[in-house]
Amino acid sequence: MKKTVLVLCTGNSCRSQIAEGYLRHFAGEKANVFSAGIETHGVNPKAIATMEEDGIDISNHTSNHIDEYRNIDFDFVITVCDNAKERCPFFPSEAQKFHHNFPDPAKATGTDEAVRAQFAKVRQQIKDYCRAFMEENL
């Protein structure tokens, strides 16, 4: 039976979108993966670009609000920022909760190269986390 995974962040624009992309990639047919935010900010174009650099297409992802998933009985809920963990709504399910606070690449400043480097760094952190999560939980 497929597991259901929700990745939760503040605006569902960067970190949760990257994590959704990698979790889907590593899970294959073993899981249904969703992402949402406690707000919606749209999918960050730089998140799309950084994932494209690693061969993962998230260009069709949408920024979704947590309320859209209230009726899904998730097996796992992963928060990828402290704000979402603190504000995560109660889920009336037996979902196992996981948390890892990744830096927000959308807050990177400096040259275009410096911003791209920060996105790539966070992307690698999320990729490593998602690979390990799937290996340990599916």
Please identify every residue annotated as catalytic.
9, 81, 88
DSSP conformation class of 59: T
Could you give the 3-state DSSP secondary structure of residue 32? strand
Determine phi and psi for 48, rounding to 5 degrees: -60, -45
Can you spell out the DSSP letters for 100-121? -----GGG--SSHHHHHHHHHH
First CA to last CA distance, the chain: 11
Could you give the 3-state DSSP secondary structure of residue 91? coil
